Structure 1
C-alpha cells in the first residue's frame, strides 16, 4: 500500500476515534454536562470537547496499533499452521476462551456479593454480536475464509486493546473506550481493501 494511503488511513481513523469519543463522552455524562448547554457555556463545552478529542485520538492510536499487530500475527499464524483451516480453528478456540473470560473472570474479580452476572454477559454478548456483524460484512466484501480472522480481530484484539478500561471496571470508562475501539477497528478492517485495491484476501 502506498504511503499516502497509510497516512489517509491513520488520519481518518484518528478523526473517527476523536469524534465518536466526543459524542459518546457528552452522552454518557449528559446529566453533568446538560447545564453547560442550557447556559451556553461555550468555553467549558469546548474545553471538555478538546479533552475528549485527545482521549479519542489515544483510543484511535491504540486501535491502529492493535490492527497492525494483528496483521503481523495473522501472517505468522498462517505460516505456523500452514493452512487457513488450522489457523482458523486456533482462532476460534481463542475467541471462545476470551468470550468465557470476559464474563467469568470479570464477574469473579469485580462482582460484589449479590451482584447479578447479567450485566457482564450483556456487555460481552454486545461486543461479540457487533464483531459478528463486522466479520460478516468483511466476508461479503472479500470471501468466506475472511469471517473467522475478522471475528478474531474484532473480538479478541479489541478485548486486548480494551484492557485498561477493563482493569478499572467503571461503567462510563468501559463504554467510553469500547465503542470508539469497535468503530475504529471496524473501519480499518473494512476500508483496508479499498486502500490497497486488493480483493479476495483471507483477512
Structure 2
C-alpha cells in the first residue's frame, strides 16, 4: 500500500475519532451539556464540541497506534509460534483473560458497598458481543482465518488502549473513551482490505 493510502487511512480514522467522540460526548454527558441546547448557547456548544473533537483526535491516535502495533505483533506471533492454529489458540486465551479481567478485577478494585458484580460482567459481555460482530464481518469480508485475529484486536487491543479510563473508573470517561476506540478500531480493521485492494488495482493499471 502506498503512502497516499496510509495518509488517507490516518486522516479518515482521525475524522472518525473526532466525530464519534463528539456524538458520544454529548450523549454520555447530556446531563452536563443538555441545558446548553435548551438555552441556545451556541458559543458554549461550539466550545464543548471543539473540545470533544480534540479529545476524539487523541483517542483516534491511540487507536491507530494500537492498530499498527497489533499488525506488528501479529506477524511476530506467527513467526514465534510457527503455527497459525497455535497462535490463534494463544490469542483466544488472551481474549478470555482480558474479558475476565475487565469484569472480575475491576469489581474487586472498584466495587461499592453492597454493589454486585453484574454491571461489571455486562461490560465484558458488551465487549465480547462487539468483538464477535466485528470479527464475523471481517471473516465475511476476507476469510475465516481473520476471525480470531479480529476478535483479539477488538477485545484485547481495545482494552489496552482503554486502560487510562479503566484506571480512573469514572463512568462518563469509561464510555466516552470506549465507544470511539471501538468505532475507530472497527473502521481500521474493515477499511484496510479495501485500501489494499485499491492499491493493487492502481498498481496493475500503471
- TM-score category (smaller protein): over 0.9
Distance 2:153 2:29 in 1: 30
Q: CA deviation at 1:113?
A: 2.2
Query: How far, CA to CA, are the matches of 2:105 and 2:31 in structure 1?
Result: 31
- Residue 3 (structure 2) aligns with: 3
Note the 1:88-107 alignment, pairs <5 A: 88-107=88-107
> Is there any run of 5+ residues in structure 2 with no aligned partner, and where?
199-206
Partner of 1:201: none
CA distance in 2, matches of 1:109, 1:92: 25
1:161 aligns with 2:144: no
Alignment length, in residue pairs? 198
Which residue of structure 2 aligns with residue 82 of structure 1?
82
- Which TM-score applies when normalising by structure 2? 0.94
Cα separation, 1, equivalents of 2:32 and 2:97: 38
Q: Name stretches of at least 5 consecutive residues in structure 1 with no aligned partner.
A: 199-203
1:11, CA displacement in angstroms? 0.5
Shift of 1:103: 0.8
Name whichever of 112-121 and 159-168 sits farther off. Answer: 112-121
Distance 2:121 2:159 in 1: 14
**Alignment root-mean-square deviation, CA:** 0.9
1:19-34 to 2 correspondences below 5 Å: 19-34=19-34
- The separation in 1 between residues aligned to 2:153 and 2:31, in whole angstroms, is 35
Q: SS of 1:115's equivalent?
A: coil
SS of the equivalent of 1:197 reads helix
Q: CA deviation at 1:39?
A: 1.8
Moved over 6 A (4+): none
**What is the match of residue 112 of structure 2?**
112
CA distance in 2, matches of 1:38, 1:93: 49
Q: Paired residue for 2:203?
A: none
